[in-house]
Structure 1
Amino acid sequence: MATFYSIPVKDIYKETDDCSVITFDVPEHLQENFSFRQGQHLTLKAIIDGADVRRSYSLCSSPTEGRWQVAVKEIPGGAFSTFVNQELKKGDILEVMAPSGTFGVDVDEANPKNYLFFAAGSGITPVLSMIKSHLERESGSTCKLFYVNKTAKSIIFKEELEQLRNQYFGRLEIYYFLTKERRDIDLFNGRFDEEKMQVLVGNFIDIPDT
């Protein structure tokens, strides 16, 4: 049977107009239970209009940051995401399961790698956790992120990503693609498709011969 813990909201802020970031105040006696690896998620529960509503959200913080943070993008008609973005506030209590999930790869400090990440919209959340973890703990690893959003204003975690690019200069490359705004270089307009992927592989992605 799933075990939920009553966890206070330590902080909540608007990352974009329709996306809120929640930081949980996990008490010290539960922190071992809530230890996590990059790519895992939290399942949250709340009573909304009398109904028991549960949703899972990927952790966007890294295991070394000492915080538990998720981003929730408001979905039209979505009960839980609307509740978070319009009603939830600092100090409120949510029911939270311990982290779970198998998405991602283990950190391997002895074997640096070149990581490629593709993300769209709020799908950046587990990817951000992975990027931070691998760059911090694998000193020889590099990351390339190809990230699709509707508009420049809607890019979730853009400021944090740019800070990471500066912090790990030369080890993190980021390419933004927009679907609702035109950019000067046509390659960076629209979603990923077969033609675009062929161009990316030919010009931005180095795949060694095997």
Structure 2
Amino acid sequence: MEYTLKVLSVAPVTHDVHRIRLEKPEGFSFTPGHVADVSVNKPGWVNEKRPFTFTALNSEPYVEFTIKCYTDHDGVTKQIGQLQAGDELIVSDSWGAIEYKGEGYFIAGGAGITPFIAIFRQLHKDNKIGNNKLFFSNKTAADIIYEEELKQLLGNNAIYIVTKESDPGYRHDYINEAFLQKEVTDFVNSPFYICGPDAMTAAITDILVKNGASADTVVFEK
């Protein structure tokens, strides 16, 4: 099913990421970590559907997406970044493979953090954040999405890695086999949640399985 939803607000999160809040249909719900197919309700864009992750909780009175907007070409995300209150998005029912399966390790690259936002917010609301650990890699500190909120939710278990600069407040590193062997205490029994560029997801999945993780405990969008 599809819903045509009015934009309530558009706000910057980082220099190229926007938070979009929409009117919420009665009875609409989703599983934290899941996505919807979204298109812009403007001529020429209605059929240009892209998957984006819900970031607000079901308990909120609005639907929310947090979207990285690419302005170097006239694509869907550039159109989304230009939205104003009163414009409309067409949103499908939710779907997806990423959902919470127990305390473990979350590994995100850039905008790949977005499926984990609602999961962490829901766990925090339910007082079940536990010892979940986040490894969040970005090119620069300016690219980190919801940095302060993630620190509040996870405390010292939110570990930020930057790859393109050396900043004393962040780890200058790469999430590779050496990094994971140092940081992960249990490859065999821990769930792993991965979201980022396809090449990153594939490489990290291979490393985890090589080090004893079961394919059944590695969660990513297929």
TM over 0.5: yes
Q: Which residue of structure 1 lines up, in the alignment, with residue 134 of structure 2?
A: 145
Runs of at least 5 residues in structure 2 that lack an aligned partner in the other structure: 191-222
Q: Which residue of structure 1 lines up, in the alignment, with residue 6 of structure 2?
A: 8
Cα shift at 1:184: 4.2
Cα shift at 1:146: 0.7
Residue-pair matches, total: 188
Is this contact kept in 1: 2:41–2:89, CA < 8 A? no
Cα distance in 2 for residues equivalent to 1:31 and 1:129? 20
What whole-Å deviation, never above 9, does each CA across 1:35-59 have from its counterpart, x for those lacking one? 1111111211125673531111011
Q: Which residue of structure 1 lines up, in the alignment, with residue 143 of structure 2?
A: 154
Aligned to 2:76, which of 74, 80, 86? 80
| Higher radius of gyration, 1 or 2 | 1
RMSD over aligned Cα atoms: 2.6
Cα shift at 1:136: 2.5
Cα shift at 1:102: 3.2
Aligned to 1:100, which of 62, 72, 95? 95
Runs of at least 5 residues in structure 1 that lack an aligned partner in the other structure: 107-112
2:40 aligned with 1:46, yes or no? yes
Cα distance in 2 for residues equivalent to 1:140 and 1:117? 12
Of 59-68 and 114-123, more deviation after overlay is shown by: 59-68
**Does the residue aligned with 1:162 lie in a helix, a strand or coil?**
helix
Cα distance in 1 for residues equivalent to 2:172 and 2:129? 32
Cα shift at 1:98: 2.0
Q: Which residue of structure 1 lines up, in the alignment, with residue 104 of structure 2?
A: 115
Is this contact kept in 2: 1:13–1:20, CA < 8 A? yes
Q: Judging changes above 3 Å, is the alpha-carbon distance between structure 1 residues 47 and 64 closer, same or farther for their aligned structure 2 residues?
A: closer
Q: Judging changes above 3 Å, is the alpha-carbon distance between structure 1 residues 116 and 65 closer, same or farther for their aligned structure 2 residues?
A: farther
Cα distance in 1 for residues equivalent to 2:129 and 2:119? 15
Cα distance in 2 for residues equivalent to 1:35 and 1:184? 41
- The residue identity in structure 1 corresponding to 2:85 is K
Identity of aligned residues (%): 26
TM-score for both structures, normalised by structure 1: 0.78
Cα distance in 1 for residues equivalent to 2:141 and 2:48? 32
Q: Judging changes above 3 Å, is the alpha-carbon distance between structure 1 residues 61 and 46 closer, same or farther for their aligned structure 2 residues?
A: same
Q: Which residue of structure 1 lines up, in the alignment, with residue 65 of structure 2?
A: 70
Cα shift at 1:161: 1.4
TM-score for both structures, normalised by structure 2: 0.74
Cα shift at 1:154: 1.2
Cα shift at 1:4: 2.1
Q: Judging changes above 3 Å, is the alpha-carbon distance between structure 1 residues 25 and 140 closer, same or farther for their aligned structure 2 residues?
A: closer
- The residue identity in structure 2 corresponding to 1:45 is S
Is this contact kept in 1: 2:29–2:58, CA < 8 A? yes
Of 55-64 and 12-21, more deviation after overlay is shown by: 55-64
